[in-house]
Amino acid sequence: MFPIRDHNPSGRTPYVTYALIAANVVIFLGYWLVLPSEETLNWFFFRFGLVPAAVTSGQGWAGFLTSMFLHGGWMHLFGNMLFLYIFGDNLEDLMGHVGFLVFYLAAGLAAAAGQVLADPWSPLPMVGASGAIAGVMGGYLLLFPRAKVDVLIIFVIFFRIFPIPAWIMLGLWFGLQLISGLSAPSDMGGVAYWAHSGGFLAGLVFTLPFWLRKGGPAFWSVTHGQPPHPHPDYALQRSRIPTVRRKR
């Protein structure tokens, strides 16, 4: 199950989302096409990725930030940037450009902290924007649980695209991260499931103030968890996302 787009257009140009995608792509090309061997690439990841054992020993703190802009391969990069492209614009629409950038970085830092807490003595470097993007997905789930997301489902000999509610797609994704994190051996490299889970939960928490500012449960009662649309009880602001106008 692979998301390819959502039915939730943004009301403003998501400059920060585009800039984050561009930064990740440029940084990836900057080292992936230049480093001559797998050994030097591994050294680069140990130097600029997040190594939990180093952090636990009081070193490598810069990796909390630098690891967010590194990726282990083309598909790792493509998958993360696709998720950011699909879900990032709507949160930027709500939070504003600067607010969304702060939110994204904070979610990434929280995700990295979650991975360190889950496996504090791991000597393996963690790289990728997945934790920050998981935070974006968590915030999206809070705001638009019933927005339609087109997902590509590939069977053995054919494929189809199905529109499903965001809460199903994002809920399944989060459940898989928890199950995988609980079942995966702590000494095995691969996907940082606890960073994904931590980032997702952090995104939910960090989005709460914006959701409450829009009316909280009243926002849901009017939108029914779907993308905003014209309605007499809406008071449109600079963002396309409305604030519920409370009656006195």
pLDDT > 70 in the chain, percent? 84
Token representation of residue 90? 């709507």
* Cα four-point dihedral sign 35, 38, 39, 41: positive
pLDDT tens digit string along 15-55? 999 999 999 999 999 999 999 788 999 999 999 999 999 99
- Residue corresponding to tokens 């960073």: 195
Q: Would you state the torsion angle of the CA atoms of residues 111, 116, 119, 124, taken in this order, to the nearest 10 degrees?
A: 100
| Runs of H (alpha helix) within 33-157 | 38-48, 52-56, 63-66, 74-95, 97-118, 130-143
45: Cβ–Cβ under 8 A, 6 or more apart, which residues? 70, 72, 125, 127
Is residue 68 pLDDT above 80, yes or no?
yes
Residue 185: per-residue pLDDT = 59
Q: Which DSSP state fits 119?
A: S
What average pLDDT does this structure show over 204-233? 76
- Residue corresponding to tokens 């980032």: 199
Global confidence as pTM: 0.84
Element (H, E) at 170: helix 166-183
C-alpha dist (Å) from residue 199 to 30, 114, 218, 238: 26, 8, 26, 28
pLDDT tens digit string along 158-187? 677 778 888 888 888 777 777 776 666 555
What average pLDDT does this structure show over 10-15? 88
Closest CA to 11 of 82, 95, 84, 81: 95
pLDDT tens digit string along 145-157? 888 888 887 766 6
What average pLDDT does this structure show over 78-105? 94
Token representation of residue 129? 């924007």
Percent of the chain as helix, strand, coil, to the nearest 5: 60, 10, 30
Closest CA to 169 of 8, 3, 10: 3
Q: What is the mean pLDDT of the chain?
A: 84
Phi (first) and psi of residue 127, to 5 degrees: -135, 155
**How many whole angstroms separate alpha carbon 7 and alpha carbon 195?**
28
Q: Which DSSP state fits 68?
A: G
Identify which has the larger pLDDT, 112 or 242. Answer: 112
Identify which has the larger pLDDT, 210 or 101. Answer: 101
197: Cα separation from own chain's centroid:
10
Identify which has the larger pLDDT, 219 or 109. Answer: 109
Is residue 95 pLDDT above 80, yes or no?
yes
Task: Say if residues 52 and 116 touch (Cβ distance below 8 Å).
Answer: yes
Token representation of residue 196? 């994904």
Residue 232: per-residue pLDDT = 40
